[in-house]
Amino acid sequence: MSDESSPWLVVGLGNPGGEYAGNRHNIGFMVADLLAERIGGKFKAHKARAQVLEGRIGPPGPANRRIVLAKPQSFMNLSGGPVNALKDFYKVPVERIVAVHDELDIDYATLRVKIGGGDNGHNGLKSMTKAFGAEYHRVRCGIGRPPGRMQVADFVLKDFSSTERKDLDWFVDRAADAVECLVLEGLERAQSSYNS
């Protein structure tokens, strides 16, 4: 089981580079950016090919938790390498890793928190599972299925629609709350509060 002194590693999945910033596939980065804002820190480049921020979340005192926020700077399908390097660098057990990612099989703006399971065709998760196994936590941010005959790859690499953007800040805020709840209060509480 995990050593209480080890930090949690919260990984927002996305693709690096300005041209991808508003894509559906980058909601993990958006959530990581909001968590960084809440912690009051700035991401810095790490030798593991990731942007990293170390901080604490939760109330002052013994109840708060050390967290390492990360945005891998490889492309999505190669996320496992940087995350595995950070896991080893910070000595984080797999069950203290949280991947925040887009999820096609859930309606837009719906969240699901879980541990373990398959990758559902998500290349970022596939890469992480290959690197260190599947028993990490996931905060799955629903983006819905592509309309009509649009290819999945085209859909995830498009920006959120103007209709979706009306709720995007609320959605990202709620996903960040779910991450904090998971780290501070555990999986069951996060599931009962945020799984809809």
Judge whether 92 and 9 are in contact, CB under 8 Å.
yes
Q: What is the CA radius of gyration of the chain?
A: 15
Which of the residues 25, 101, 122, 137 is marked catalytic?
25
Is residue 137 part of the annotated active site? The answer reads no
d(CA 193, CA 134): 23
> Where do we find the tokens 């085209």?
154
> Where do we find the tokens 């941010």?
141
Q: φ and ψ at 113, to 5 degrees?
A: -110, 135
Note the helical H segments in 90-194: 123-132, 152-156, 162-185, 187-194
Cα dihedral 153→133→142→173 (10° resolution): -120
Q: Which residues are catalytic?
A: 25
